Amino acid sequence: MSTPVLALGPQRPAPNLRDALDAEGVTGPLALITAGWRVDELEIDALKRHAGVPILHLPLYAWFEALMAADPALKRTYRQRQDRILALKELYRLRLLPALAAVDDLRAHNRRHPDAPDLGVEELEDALRGLRTLDDRVVEGVARIRADVPTLERPWDHHPAVRARYDEIVDTLDRASALAIAGGHIGVLRNRMQLFGFSQHLPRLLAQGQPIVAWAGGVMTLTERVVIYYDDPPQGISEAEVFSPGFGLLPGVVLFPHARRRLRLDDPDRLERLVARFHPRLCLGMENGAWMSWRGADWTDHSRPDTLLRLADLP
């Protein structure tokens, strides 16, 4: 794959979307997804001014709401599937917190008892393998629940109204020179993109030579798995959770936009556990000014200084 996927950090306060588009010779039109903004989906004037190219907006959030309002049976099926996924996540959390605590306890034990390092390291590695297996299982479980409902996994094959939007998306993308995906609410964004067939659209774009540029939550959807995180949340648990499979265009990385705000980067023990948990994937924090390009074999870093953070290398 020589067509690039451009991974950007958050766009405030100093956006670099225009720089990324210019570097790839994108002069428009630019297809745009802002579904993660939810009810603010249509508030794109500032983004349009910065992009400086014609915009072809795909209002996936509004389309989804209209579909659900018009088809109670579809809405009911969707809600039932989401309830099963939520039930799976509840079970995952019940096992996740003890698994993380076991890793912490073993690391503390090993520091207190350096006389038998081989035994301590072996037990810690086993605990980390168990934690990774737990994360793998929730990804597989979400994928399995989705696959069990084919009318939602590929709804364009079963619902004429979805097919009409699917075809409209194909037409819009064919008229665009590139696709941009903004951030926002990662769950809403990921699910709306899935419902309207972006598991099909994204690879087709790259095969046709049309770049994809995404930032913040938007770029998280393009990885192999989406991880949600907030070390000091106003409510809920303070541990990173594997949320769902991503679209898989960006392999081998776990991305953490707003890492300085949402992770305790001054806590080396916590960072070390996070990096070890997701090994061998590379954990990268992305701040405003971060910019990487992926062309199917390796990464090229165009980031401004100190905006792309390799978490394993932080002191």
**Cβ atoms 301, 292 nearer than 8 A:** yes
Cβ-based neighbour number of residue 128 at 10 Å = 19
Q: Does the residue 145 lie in any domain?
A: no
Query: Residues 265, 271: contact at Cβ < 8 Å?
Result: yes
> Residue 237: what pLDDT?
67
Residue span of the structural domain in which 191 resides: 5-59+177-313
**Separation between Cα atoms, residue 218 and residue 180, nearest integer Å:** 9
**Residue 140 carries which side chain, given as an amino acid letter?**
E
φ, ψ for residue 140, nearest 5 deg: -65, -40
State yes or no: pLDDT of 93 exceeds 80.
Answer: yes
Q: What Cα–Cα distance (Å) separates residue 290 from each residue in 17, 25, 32, 72?
A: 10, 19, 20, 43
178 beta partners: 30
Percentage with pLDDT > 70 across the chain: 98
For residue 195, the model assigns a pLDDT of 98
Q: Residue 304 falls within a domain, yes or no?
A: yes
How many angstroms separate the CA atoms of 280 and 252, rounded?
Answer: 7
Closest-CA residue to 244 (of 191, 166, 299, 292): 191
Range in 125-139, 141-155, 223-237 with the lowest mean pLDDT:
223-237
Q: Is residue 105 part of a domain?
A: no
Residue 7 host element (H or E): strand 5-8
pLDDT level of residue 118 (50, 70, 90 thresholds): confident
Structural contact between residues 255 and 220, judged by C-beta atoms closer than 8 angstroms? yes
Instruction: With respect to residue 190, please indicate whether it lies within any of the assigned structural domains.
Output: yes
- Establish if 118 belongs to a structural domain: no
Is the residue at 252 inside a domain? Answer: yes
Inside any domain, residue 198? yes
Of 11-20, 87-96, 139-148, 234-243, the one with minimum mean pLDDT is 234-243
- 71 in any annotated domain: no
- Picking from 179, 206, 248, 250, the residue whose alpha carbon sits closest to that of residue 33 is 179
Query: Is the pLDDT score of 1 beyond 60?
Result: no
CA distance 171 to 271: 44
One-letter amino acid of 168: E
pLDDT-wise least confident of 53-57, 111-115, 199-203: 111-115
Domain count, the chain: 1
Q: CATH number of the domain at 294, please.
A: 3.40.50.880
pTM, to two decimals: 0.95
